[in-house]
Chain A
């Protein structure tokens, strides 16, 4: 039986990280549906989800075959690459070096792309766009779930965290029927970047054979340090 305190960080990390990805996919699917018709957008979304399910079903069992230390090392390094990429971008956005991601602008760009596409195969164009969005953002969600859940038998709780994010975004999306521009995306990305970096250092170290003092508690220490460094970097870059 998995205790709440063990599962909560994985569920929370999967939920918050997935929230960002699902909002991005939702924006594109919404643009495709509103401009090209819902039949193509829904078909593309369904195809994307089916492709994702196939990938998970095909590759999921392989995870059990990989030795634990190798799995921890590979996932740790991928988490570092992924998480530090997010954190770097979030810091640069918060410091005003690069523009904040705007779901309204993203939606407008997608709409413009769709509008300028030739009308041959009307639903097909929107469907392909929805398919790509769902597949790519979905793969990121799958990776996050594996990263925070694998290695400690928390894949199922982490999956529930990601699923909850999908339900929340779809429920709010169905009500407002426009891009979810009020989601504080950069703040979420900042927080997720910090969490992924902390997990990344922890898993990479475990994979290399480091027995961290305090075991899982070190993730909190790493998280606090990355948060401090990230916030400090924003302040310094803004002032220079």
Chain B
């Protein structure tokens, strides 16, 4: 049971390394999906939103971690 729990924990850590980054990615994907499903944006604009959103999340996540750990 302990092994299973450790394996499950390890699996979770693979996908959720940084909580803020995970939330950011899921927000970008959900927002893109919602905007496209509602017809507010064209698919190609949705694609640009998805791509740029991921870039912003990555940069923000790196910058935030970098700043926090340099301040210490």
Contacts and interface: CB of A to CB of B under 8 A. Distances in A.
Nearest to A211: B43
A110 B43 CA distance: 49
A225 B21 CA distance: 18
A193 to B, nearest CB: 9
Given A80-B54, A233-B58, A132 B7 contact: yes
Interface residues of A, number: 43
Contacts of A102: none
A208 B58 contact: no
Interface in A209-240: 209-213, 222, 225-226, 229-230, 233, 236-237, 240
Interface stretch (A1-9, A27-35, A86-94, A156-164): A86-94
Contact of A97 (B15, B46, B70): B70
Interface stretch (A60-68, A112-120, A134-142): A134-142
Q: Is the interface of A mostly helix, strand, loop or mixed?
A: helix
Contact of B51 (A88, A128, A201): A201
Nearest to A78: B15
Contact of A240 (B11, B22, B47, B66): B66
A173 interface: no
A234 B51 CA distance: 20
Name the residue in A95, A97, A208 with the highest tally of chain B Cβ atoms < 10 Å from its Cβ. A208
A84 interface: yes
A205 to B, nearest CB: 5
Given A85-B21, A136-B7, A208 B14 contact: no
B69 to A, nearest CB: 5
Nearest to A143: B14
B58 A95 contact: no
Interface string A14-50: 0000000000000000000000000000000000000
A98 B66 CA distance: 9
Contacts of A136: 7, 10-11
Contacts of B58: 84, 87-88, 197, 226, 229-230, 233
Interface of B: 3, 6-7, 10-11, 14-18, 21-22, 25-26, 29, 32-33, 36, 43-44, 46-47, 50-51, 54-55, 57-59, 61-63, 65-67, 69-70
Given A204-B50, A233-B58, 12 more contacts: A81-B16, A85-B14, A88-B58, A88-B61, A88-B62, A128-B3, A132-B7, A208-B32, A208-B43, A210-B44, A213-B44, A225-B51
7 contacts: A92-B62, A136-B10, A208-B29, A208-B32, A209-B43, A233-B63, A240-B67
Interface of A: 77-78, 80-82, 84-85, 87-89, 91-92, 95, 97-98, 128, 131-132, 135-136, 139-140, 143, 197, 200-201, 204-205, 208-213, 222, 225-226, 229-230, 233, 236-237, 240
